[in-house]
Amino acid sequence: MSLMPVAEALERLLAGVSPLGPETVSLEQANNRFLADALRSKRTQPPFAASAMDGYAIRHQDLGGDRTQLQVIGEAPAGHGFAGSVEPGQAVRIFTGAPVPTGADTILIQEDAERSGNMITVLEAPQKGAFVRSAGLDFSSGDVLLAPPLKLAYRHLALAAAMNHAELPVIRKPKVAILATGDELVPPGTEPGPDQIIASNHIGIAALVADCGGQPLYLGISPDDPVELATHIRTAITEEADILVTLGGASVGDHDIVQEVLGKEGMDLSFWRIAMRPGKPLMAGHLGKTRVLGLPGNPVSSLVCGLLFLKPLLQAMLGQSPDNAAPKQAVLGGDLPENDRRQDYVRAGLSQDADDHLVATPFTRQDSSMLGLLAKSGALIIRPPHAPAQKAGTPVPVLIL
C-alpha cells in the first residue's frame, strides 16, 4: 500500500464532518464553549439616559455667564432615580449610573461645581449633553450581538449577561475516548517492570482534546490481547464516543493488533499509513457513528499526529475552521538537508530577530521518541516531500506550538 499524502488524508478525515448538536448551559458553564446559535439581546442597554459621572443633572439652557447658580432640589443615586422634574434654575445631585431626571440634559461633574447648602455655583460650564449616556448607547433590544462561529470568552459572557441571558446555546462537546495499548505500558506514578515504560501519550492527547473544546474519556491501557482490546473498544461504543483514539499498535509488527481487532469489531477503514514524518502509521475509519483515529505509539509521532489530525477533526465538530490550514512564515535559523518522499514536521526552537521576524531553528536530532525536544520546541517546520536542501535565512512555513 502506497503512502497517502497528508493533505489527502486530512481531506478524507474531515469529509462529511458537521458541527455536533446544541445544548444549553448556564453562563457560569459557558466559558470557552462554542456558541451554537445567534444571540439576540433581550433588553436595551442602557435602558434609560444615564449619568456617566458623579455630579449634578442640569438644564444646559440655564447656564448663563460666569458662576451661574442653581438650586439643588433632590438626589439620584444609582438604582434610585429622581421622581420629579428639573425646572429652570434647578439641579439634581446625581451619581454614576443613575437615570437622568426629566427636564435635565447635561451633567455638571462635581469637580466643576461649588456647593453651599442647597445651592451650587458652576465653576466651568459643560457642553450640552456632557456625560449623559443615551438610552441604547451600547445596544438595543433585538440586536444580534453574538453569533457563531464563536468561542465564548470572558468578554462575550459579560455581554450575554448584560443582554439578560442566564443560559446560552452551545455546541455539544465531542466525547473522545482515548485508549492506550501495549504490554510495555504502565500508568504514570507506578513502578515499571524491567521491560516496561511509563505511558505518556494519553496524557498529552487528553490535554489536547480538552484544549480544543472536547471531552476526554480515558479508557485505560489495554495489553496486546485481542479479547481485552475488543472489550475496551466496545466500552467506547457504549459510552457513545464521537471519536475513539487508539494509541499504538497500528503498525505492521506481529504484536500490532489494533487495526485487526477494530476490523473484527466492524470498523470501516478509511485510510492507513501517511507520507509524513513523524507519524507514518496513522489510521482512520468509522465504527458505526464513532470516528476512529489510530495514532502511532511513539510519543512525538502520537502528539504531532494529534495536532495535525485530531485537532482539525475536533474543530470541525465544533463548527470551527481548522487553523492548521494557515501556517505562519518564519526564516530558518539553521541549515536543513534535502527531504525524501515524506512530508516532514521538524521540531524547532522559535525566536525573533532584530526585525521581529520569526526564526525557526531546527534541532539536530529528530527522533520520534524524544519528548524533551518537543517540550522545548516552539514550532514545527513543514517540509514538503522532496524539498531541496535549505540554508539558514530561507523562508519556511511553520506550525506554532
3-state DSSP helix/strand/coil % of the chain, to nearest 5: 20, 35, 45
Three-class SS state of 239 = coil
pTM metric for this prediction: 0.89
CA distance 379 to 28: 34
Residues in Cβ contact with 390 at an 8 Å cutoff, skipping those fewer than 6 apart: 332, 335, 336, 396
Under the banding of pLDDT at 50, 70 and 90, the label for residue 215 is very high
**H-helix segments, 185-298:** 201-212, 226-238, 258-264
Which is it for strands 276-277 and 343-352: parallel, antiparallel or unpaired?
A: parallel
Burial class of residue 1 in the structure, from the number of CB atoms within 10 Å of its CB (0-12 exposed, 13-18 middle, 19+ buried):
exposed
Three-class SS state of 83 = coil
Under the banding of pLDDT at 50, 70 and 90, the label for residue 77 is very high
Q: What is the mean pLDDT of the chain?
A: 94
CA distance 357 to 352: 5
CA distance 125 to 162: 33
**Residue closest to 305 by CA, chosen among 314, 313, 296:** 296
Q: Count Cβ atoms below 10 Å from residue 276 Cβ, excluding itself.
A: 24
| pLDDT score, position 66 | 74
- The angle at the Cα of 347, spanning 343 to 352, to the nearest 5 degrees, equals 120
Does 400 score more than 70 pLDDT? yes
Structural contact between residues 108 and 91, judged by C-beta atoms closer than 8 angstroms = yes
| pLDDT score, position 313 | 97
Which residue has 443615551 as its cell numbers? 134
Structural contact between residues 92 and 57, judged by C-beta atoms closer than 8 angstroms = yes
How many angstroms separate the Cα of 179 from the Cα of each of 189, 232, 241? 18, 8, 12
278-290 pLDDT, tens per residue?
Answer: 998 999 999 999 9
Q: Which amino acid is at 401?
A: L
Per-residue three-class SS string for 282-350? CEEEEECCEEEEEECCCHHHHHHHHHHHHHHHHHHHCCCCCHHHCCEEEEECCCECCCCCCEEEEEEEE
| pLDDT score, position 355 | 87
Which residue has 446560552 as its cell numbers? 168
| pLDDT score, position 254 | 52
Structural contact between residues 139 and 208, judged by C-beta atoms closer than 8 angstroms = no
| pLDDT score, position 2 | 81
Structural contact between residues 392 and 333, judged by C-beta atoms closer than 8 angstroms = yes
Under the banding of pLDDT at 50, 70 and 90, the label for residue 329 is very high
7-62 pLDDT, tens per residue?
Answer: 999 999 999 999 999 999 999 999 999 999 999 999 999 999 999 999 999 999 99
Under the banding of pLDDT at 50, 70 and 90, the label for residue 207 is very high
Return the C-alpha cell found at 198.
Answer: 511509563
The Cβ-side half-sphere exposure at 220, using a 13 Å CA radius, reads 11
